[in-house]
Amino acid sequence: MTPFDKTALAIGCALIPLPASAVEAVMQLEAVTVTAKGYAADELETPVAMTTVDRTEILRRGANNLGEALRGQPGLAVTSDGAQGQNPVIRGLKKESVVLLVDGMRLNSAQPAGAIGSFMSLGLADRVEVVKGPASVLYGTGALGGAINVLLPQAKFTEGVGLDATASYDSASSGVRGTGVMNASGGDHALMLGASLARIGNYEARGGKVDRTGYDSDSFIGQYRFRIDGAQQLRLSLQQHTDDDVWYPGSTKPYPNPQVKSTTVHSPEQERRLAEIGYSRKGAGEAPINLDVRLYRQEMERQIFSRANGTLNRDIGETRASFDTDGLDAKADWLAHPQHLLSFGVNTWQMGASPERLLPQGGNPANPLVRNDAFADARIDALGVYLQDDMCFGDLNLLAGLRRDTVKGSAASMNNGAVITGLDREDSAISGSLGAIYRVTPLLRPYANLSRAFRAGEMRERYESSPRGDGYYYLGNPQIKPEIATQFEIGLKGASDTFSYTLSAYRNQVTDYITGQPSGGFISGLPVKATVNLGRVTLTGLEAQGRWQVARGHWLTAGYSRVRGENDDLNEPLFQMPADELSLGWEGAVAQGWAADATLRLVNRQDRVATVFALGSENATPGFATADLGVTWRYAKDQTLRIALKNLADKAYHEHLAEGVSGQEIQAPGRSLALAWKGKF
């Protein structure tokens, strides 16, 4: 998704075509998003639940990754196995059920330890947009829980040279970060170059330093745009992100061999590279047709090693893989009528991988490592076509969409070549959405939506049979059926100059739910989880968020989130559901050029845990409260300094979704002094 993808802005339920010159100005409006509809639209005119975090908020939070940026937002949670490996969770649905995008392009990869969302530098992001709830109409397979789109800077046709820069430090990890984005433009040429570097150390928690939580990250982006004429542009975009020496201490699990004692997953190096070429054309006249086409290649190189922590003190498992994706997106927006904005398109991509895996010869961890590949020449091919109609009738806005997807999985072999048949499967699915929002008054806009999404099995679920970070030996299932999610949601939205809010309640039912189910058996001394389809799970929830100006320049904020998941097959709570959460905040001007803020996060005890399904691997989590304080000084027009205290009371806690042996999960960072600078030149 690029800022040139938008066609019209819905204002008062009237669709107004936007000239290219207005695109960037519109994107500065907080209530405008591009991810929910696929083009710029006012959030208050969209019958979908959304969350947006802009660059200023990312810096205020001192977030190092996507999980940290979204933690505490209503409807969102984080599952983590380390400081870097923090994956966003939307309404109780985890990474496999959330489509992650950078500038609208999927971060395709199999998802072992760590966070796919960490394969870009958050320091470069302009904003993060989250669509909560099934979003397959626009984003295809995988979007059962929703979609998260990280929008990076774009080359701008602004004459001259400009530079945006940030630098930050936090005492908990002794981490330093620096980011710079340069834009240069002259005539019909525009160039953007950006870099973000981070050096993060092992962080301090209440009980002392948490080992193996440090890592290094380097991220570089670039984009060149050529303006063919007033309506047409060409673009070339490049992205590269590298992480070094990343450990996932939450993956530490006991191992039956005394020389091994326990194992911890780590990644000596992992890298993402992306190249995109694109063409856009802006229509003109009373019924403009806008076109955007992109061709891209993304390479996700991952190293997933398993380290023996006993006297053996070496890696007893090594996997190296490159998940390479070639994709084509083509879409058009047509203002067919002042009350009908049609959008339609085709998305196709192919991801291939043939991981090289080394395991101890004969199963003895002291023996040399030999080739034992999980699968060979695996491919996932996806093709989707969609049509969406954005309709306005006075104060009523209707949004209807329909999509058909075909997803095919294939592999030459699995289980180190032992299985060569029964590996191909093709699935087709229809996704749809129908939503309505009505403006009674600017502060009262009720909405409702019904949406359907699907998720075909990912590559590891289909083909990999091996030990994983949670201490289980997983059995792949090449004939796993796709999940189907159907959600009904009702809500309210509203905004004025001094007050804004959102409120929503939903029920999402997922059939053929894909999960790893403990079987009671053992392979190589590890308990076994079989990749299976459950009959049905049901998630229900309530979310609320508000912002109120209590006095000139002083705002109070509040957010609440509650989700309940039920395993309908076993009549028990669904495995690993986020705890209920309430957040309260204040921000305001305290002197000329000075602003302060405070945030209180209250997380309830989570004692609704799976017992039959989890076989004792999920324990209740105590509730906790954390407080953050910050002060920002604008000492020049485009220069700010910020000092903040995070986890003010040095609370010892961990999130319920933190990975680790039950009762031994790693603690979250303790009290930390954070310093940040932001400047524009």
pLDDT recorded at residue 148: 94
Residue type, 618: E
At residue 533, does pLDDT exceed 70?
yes
Burial status of residue 553 (CB atoms within 10 A of its CB: 0-12, 13-18, 19 or more) = exposed
Q: Distance between CA atoms of 536 and 81, rounded to whole angstroms?
A: 27
Residue type, 254: P
Confidence (pTM): 0.93
Q: What percent of the chain has pLDDT over 90?
A: 76
At residue 36, does pLDDT exceed 50?
yes
Q: Distance between CA atoms of 106 and 129, rounded to whole angstroms?
A: 14
At residue 25, does pLDDT exceed 50?
no
- Region of poorest pLDDT, from 54-68, 341-355, 501-515: 54-68
At residue 467, does pLDDT exceed 80?
no
Mean pLDDT of the 235-250 span: 94
Pick 582 or 531 by higher pLDDT. Answer: 582
Contact status, residue 65 vs residue 87, Cβ threshold 8 Å: no
Which contiguous run of DSSP H or E holds residue 78?
A: strand 76-80
pLDDT recorded at residue 362: 87
Q: Distance between CA atoms of 472 and 659, rounded to whole angstroms?
A: 13
Report which of 347, 372, 350, 377 is spatially closest to residue 361, judged by C-alpha positions. 372
Q: Distance between CA atoms of 411 and 352, rounded to whole angstroms?
A: 9
At residue 459, does pLDDT exceed 70?
yes
Burial status of residue 19 (CB atoms within 10 A of its CB: 0-12, 13-18, 19 or more) = exposed
Instruction: Place 574 in a pLDDT band, splitting at 50, 70 and 90.
Output: very high
Which positions ≥6 away from 145 have C-beta within 8 Å?
89, 90, 91, 92, 93, 94, 97, 98, 132, 133, 134
At residue 440, does pLDDT exceed 70?
yes
Sign of the alpha-carbon dihedral angle for 206, 212, 213, 216: positive
Task: Provide the CB-side half-sphere exposure for 419 (13 A, CA).
Answer: 19
Residue 362's SS3 state is helix
pLDDT recorded at residue 84: 83
Give the C-alpha distances (Å, rounded to integers) separating 44 from 34, 38, 399, 448, 471. Answer: 13, 15, 13, 13, 45
Domain parsing of the chain, residue ranges: 3-680
Q: Sheet harboring 105-106: ordered strands across? A: 49-54, 127-132, 146-151, 98-102, 105-106
At residue 399, does pLDDT exceed 50?
yes
At residue 228, does pLDDT exceed 80?
yes
> pLDDT digit string (tens) for 117-142?
677 778 899 999 999 999 999 999 99
Task: Say which DSSP state 531 is in.
Answer: E
Report which of 435, 453, 545, 450 is spatially closest to residue 500, judged by C-alpha positions. 545
Give the C-alpha distances (Å, rounded to integers) separating 201 from 62, 173, 259, 642. Answer: 15, 5, 28, 21
Task: Provide the CB-side half-sphere exposure for 58 (13 A, CA).
Answer: 23
Instruction: Place 624 in a pLDDT band, splitting at 50, 70 and 90.
Output: very high
Instruction: Place 1 in a pLDDT band, splitting at 50, 70 and 90.
Output: very low
- Region of poorest pLDDT, from 21-35, 368-382, 559-573: 21-35
Adjacent-strand bridge partners of 466? 474
Q: What is the mean pLDDT of the chain?
A: 91
CATH class assigned to 3-680: mainly beta
- Region of poorest pLDDT, from 169-173, 236-240, 515-519: 515-519
> pLDDT digit string (tens) for 641-668?
999 999 999 999 999 998 887 778 889 9
User: How would DSSP label each residue in 267-289?
Assistant: EEEEEEEEEEEEEEE---SSS-E
Contact status, residue 494 vs residue 513, Cβ threshold 8 Å: no
> pLDDT digit string (tens) for 605-620?
999 999 988 777 888 9
pLDDT recorded at residue 428: 96
> pLDDT digit string (tens) for 65-87?
888 999 999 999 998 888 887 88
Contact status, residue 159 vs residue 185, Cβ threshold 8 Å: yes
Mean pLDDT of the 519-540 span: 87
Which runs of consecutive H residues, i.e. helices, occur in 496-604?
none
> pLDDT digit string (tens) for 141-189?
999 999 999 999 999 999 999 999 999 999 999 999 999 999 999 999 9
Region at 647 (left for phi over 0; alpha for psi -120 to 50; beta for the rest): left
Pairing of strands 98-102, 146-151: parallel
Q: Phi and psi at residue 57, in whole multiples of 5°?
A: -70, -35
**What long-range pairs does 626-630 form, CB within 8 A, spacing at least 24?**
626/600, 626/601, 626/651, 626/653, 627/598, 627/599, 627/600, 627/601, 628/598, 628/599, 628/601, 629/596, 629/597, 629/598, 630/60, 630/596, 630/597, 630/598, 630/674
- Region of poorest pLDDT, from 14-23, 221-230, 369-378: 14-23
At residue 601, does pLDDT exceed 90?
yes
Task: Say which DSSP state 661 is in.
Answer: S
Dmax over CA atoms of the chain, in Å, equals 75
Q: Phi and psi at residue 522, in whole multiples of 5°?
A: -135, 140
Contact status, residue 8 vs residue 341, Cβ threshold 8 Å: yes
- Region of poorest pLDDT, from 25-29, 340-344, 436-440, 506-510: 25-29
Instruction: Place 522 in a pLDDT band, splitting at 50, 70 and 90.
Output: confident
> pLDDT digit string (tens) for 248-297?
998 888 888 899 999 999 999 999 999 999 999 999 888 899 999 999 99
Structure tokens at 612: 């039959």
Q: Distance between CA atoms of 128 and 151, rounded to whole angstroms?
A: 6
At residue 19, does pLDDT exceed 70?
no
pLDDT recorded at residue 10: 43
Structure tokens at 420: 């060569």
pLDDT recorded at residue 519: 81
* ∠ Cα 326 331 325 (to 5°): 10
Structure tokens at 637: 């027009």
Instruction: Place 7 in a pLDDT band, splitting at 50, 70 and 90.
Output: very low
Cα dihedral 529, 531, 535, 540, rounded to 10, equals: 80
Instruction: Place 405 in a pLDDT band, splitting at 50, 70 and 90.
Output: very high
Mean pLDDT of the 340-347 span: 96
Q: Distance between CA atoms of 370 and 363, rounded to whole angstroms?
A: 10
Pick 472 or 540 by higher pLDDT. Answer: 540
Instruction: Place 112 in a pLDDT band, splitting at 50, 70 and 90.
Output: low
Pick 520 or 178 by higher pLDDT. Answer: 178
Instruction: Place 628 in a pLDDT band, splitting at 50, 70 and 90.
Output: very high
Contact status, residue 430 vs residue 446, Cβ threshold 8 Å: no
pLDDT recorded at residue 515: 85
Report which of 389, 377, 380, 383 is spatially closest to residue 337, judged by C-alpha positions. 389
